[in-house]
Amino acid sequence: MTTAWAHTNIALVKYWGKRPSAGLNLPAVGSLSLTLDRFGTETSVEIADHDAFLLDGHDVENNEAQKVFLFLDRVRALAGRTEKARVTSTNHVPTAAGLASSASAFAALALAATRAYGLHLDDKDLSILARQGSGSAARSIFGGFVLWHRGTRDDGSDSCAEPLTTSLDARLVVVRTTSGKKETASTQGMEHTASTSPFFTAWVDTHPQDLRDAQAALAAADLPRLGEVMEHSTLKMHATTLAARPGFFYFQPTTIAVLQAVKTLRAQGTGAWATMDAGPHVKILCAPDDAAAIAAAAKAIPGVVGVDVCAPGSAARITA
């Protein structure tokens, strides 16, 4: 039995939309993220007489399990082996928070399953493999700030992530605004947007400049510049969903209240910038010294159900 841990990551410059590929999960745009120290997935893989998937103590037999078994097929093909396996995963996230992430799930599975089948992939190849389970998982192989290259090749061999060096330290204050599950999963949300939103072309065309700005901000350890481009990328991504047909959105009333509070904090002189993914929660980027005050301000907003301060986290690793 091999066990691996991978942390969740949050994109600062977002991945949203795929380019056509036969199941390879190739992104329409690159992205830049921060791996968190708090939330993540622990996954064990052991060779067994049939494929099975246990999540948080329960047998899973739905589409989620099919995705896991298809992923095992990829690993078996790489390893030239045919035995089945039992996958046991535990999500370390606040209960029913809608934060359980396919990023940490497929990064942990990529690492645990390759080792269980006797493969020792380097980080680049692990990132390419994890990407095929879920795009954002390519980034959770690495710790800290991470760049996932869009790549141009049809076989996906250049669409991998890599860690970025920076002297910037930062915190992400994760503000949970509901306790339910999200309504439109990211895979479906981005597919519907790419095929129906007239704003999607503008998203793809303007994205490379955002990535360059974010990388320059990291190189200069310039938090305000990074925060500004992160908010821009976030609101632009959500604008593509509003213009889809039919349009949809991930905002809840409390989401808007938190976004307003971030603007107010900034107007009062606190460096705070907001991002959201395919769900109603808000993550606030800030300097380490400001995190406690921002968390306290967020907790005081009516409707907020939980607040966690996250620091940069480490790369995926084998734990047993």
* Residues of this chain that bind ligand DP6 (CB under 6 A): 11, 14-16, 25, 31, 102, 134-136, 186-187, 277-278
**244: number of Cβ within 10 Å:** 21
Q: How far is the CB of 7 from ligand DP6 (least distance, A)?
A: 13
3-class DSSP state for residue 302? coil
Strand blocks (E) in the chain: 2-13, 18-19, 26-27, 31-48, 52-55, 58-59, 84-92, 145-148, 161-163, 171-176, 272-275, 282-286, 306-310, 317-318
Q: How far apart are CB 97 and ligand DP6 at their closest, in Å?
A: 15
The radius of gyration of the chain from alpha carbons, rounded to an integer in Å, stands at 19
Q: CB 33 → ligand DP6: shortest distance, Å?
A: 6
* Nearer Cβ to ligand DP6 (211/304): 211
Instruction: Tell me the closest approach of the beta carbon of residue 76 to ligand DP6, in angstroms.
Output: 21
In the complex, least distance from residue 156 CB atom to ligand DP6, rounded to whole angstroms:
12
Beta strands 145-148; 84-92: pairing state: unpaired
Rounded to a whole number of angstroms, the minimum distance from the CB of residue 228 to ligand DP6 is 18
**Residue 173 in 3-state DSSP?**
strand
User: DSSP character for 67?
Assistant: H
88/134 with CB nearer ligand DP6 = 134
Q: How far is the CB of 102 from ligand DP6 (least distance, A)?
A: 5
Question: Which one, 209 or 264, has the nearer CB to ligand DP6?
Answer: 209
Q: Name which of 4 and 138 has its Cβ closer to ligand DP6.
A: 138
Token representation of residue 116 = 């269980």
Q: Kindly list the distances between the CA atom of residue 255 and the CA atoms of 9, 26, 72, 101, 246, in Å, as whole numbers in the listed order.
A: 20, 30, 37, 19, 21
Of 114 and 140, CB closest to ligand DP6:
140
Contact status, residue 259 vs residue 281, Cβ threshold 8 Å: no
**2 versus 159: smaller Cβ distance to ligand DP6:** 159
Q: Which is nearer to ligand DP6, 45 or 100 (CB)?
A: 100
Decide: 127 and 143 in contact? Cβ < 8 Å.
Answer: no
What lies within 8 Å, CB to CB, of 239 at 6+ separation is 199
DSSP 249-288: ----HHHHHHHHHHHHHHHTT--EEEE--SSS-EEEEE-G
Kind of pairing between the strands at 84-92 and 52-55: parallel
Length of the chain: 320
CB 246 within 8 A of CB 252: no
Q: Which is nearer to ligand DP6, 187 or 319 (CB)?
A: 187
- CB nearer ligand DP6, residue 16 or residue 117: 16
For the CB of residue 127, give the shortest distance to ligand DP6 in the complex, in Å.
Answer: 13
- Rounded to a whole number of angstroms, the minimum distance from the CB of residue 172 to ligand DP6 is 13
